[in-house]
Each structure stands twice: as C-alpha cells, then as structure tokens.
Amino acid sequence: MLLDCETGCVLECNPEFERQAGRTLDELKALKIWELRPRKNKRQPGRRFSKSGDRSGSSVLELQRPDGSSMPVDFVSKVIRIQGMCFIQSVSRDITERCTPTCAA
C-alpha cells in the first residue's frame, strides 16, 4: 500500500490489502490509515504521524473490518520519496494463524 506521509491517507493498495481490510480501494482512499484500527486502539495518531521524522519500521497491528471483525497483520513500512514528495510504502501480512488474541496491540 502507498500512504501520503503528511496525512496518513491511503493512496493505493493491492487487492490483498483490500481483502484484509474488508474494503475497496475507493473506500480505503476515503480513510486515514489509523482509521482502520479498532476503536479501542485508536489514540491520537494523526498528530504523531505527521510530526514524526522517521515512519519506517515494522509492527503488528489489528485491522478493523466494517463488519466488526478484526485481523492481526504484520506491517513493514518504509518512507520513500518520489519526485520530491514523501510517501510511506507498506507491506502487510495476515498473521491470523500464528497470532494469539493478545498478540495485536
């Protein structure tokens, strides 16, 4: 998936991420990446997201689907620059089979 560095908006993703999130690309483009987290895990990420200097790294997160179900995913992200603009390129992997209910924070 490709995110806008400044806003956290989803710009592009592949069909597998659409499946993981339970949303179409058009639905995802209307969201910020942290809006895919379960309500209990939503903090004030917008401010931290735009002000943090380095957004590269990996983490295990839980994606909330529109039907209320959730899926633990392993995210690996890297900040990239294309024609002077900043983006975050992320790869997510469904880790449901190896994850216990407490593994996604």
Model pTM?
Answer: 0.76
CA 95 distance to own-chain centroid: 14
CATH for 2-98, options being 3.40.50.10190, 3.30.450.20, 1.10.540.10, 3.40.50.720: 3.30.450.20
pLDDT at 59: 85
List the structure tokens of 85: 């603009």
Contact between 77 and 88 under an 8 Å Cβ cutoff? The reply is yes
Q: Averaged in consecutive runs of 10 residues, what is the pLDDT profile of the chain (105 residues)?
A: 94 95 96 88 50 66 91 92 93 84 53
Tell me the domain boundaries of the chain.
2-98
